[in-house]
Structure 1
Amino acid sequence: MVSQTRASMVSAAFVKLTDTLVGAYDVLDVLHTLVEECVELLDASAAGLLLADPSGELQVVASTSEESYLVEVL
C-alpha cells in the first residue's frame, strides 16, 4: 500500500471539491464534502460548518456528526 504525503492528500481534496462544482451543483453537497475532507486531512473526530444568516444567527450547514448541531444550540 502506498502512503500519501500531506501535500498529495490536500491536492486530492481540492480535486474532489472542484469535481463537485460542475453544472447545476448542490451547495450543500459541496459543503458536506468540504467538512468530510477536513476531518480526514486534519485527523479530527468530527467537523461542522456554521454560517451566519442575515440576522446574525449561526446555522449549521454541514456536519460530519450530530454533535456539531449542539454547537448551534449553544
Structure 2
Amino acid sequence: MVRIDPLGYGTKALAHDAGLIASSTEMSGIEYLSVVQVLPFYPIRGLERGLEGRVVLKITVTTAGRIIEPVVVQN
C-alpha cells in the first residue's frame, strides 16, 4: 500500500515543508479514502540493505481526481 500524506500533515513532515503547499489548497477536516491500493516495486538490494528515503512531489489534481503535472521537488 502506498501512503500519501499531504505535506505538513505527516508524522515525519518538516516545518519548512509547509510552505510548499499552494495557498489555495484547503486541507482542514478532510479525510482520505484509498480507492486503489498499489504495491510499489522495491529493488531487492535496497530492501536487503534496509535502504529507505523520502521524496517530496508537487502534483496537480484535476476536478475529476486525475493527477497531472507531477514534479519531484526534493529527494
State whether TM-score is above 0.5.
no
Give the alignment's TM-score, normalised by structure 1: 0.19
Name whichever structure is richer in helix by fraction: 1
Give the alignment's TM-score, normalised by structure 2: 0.19
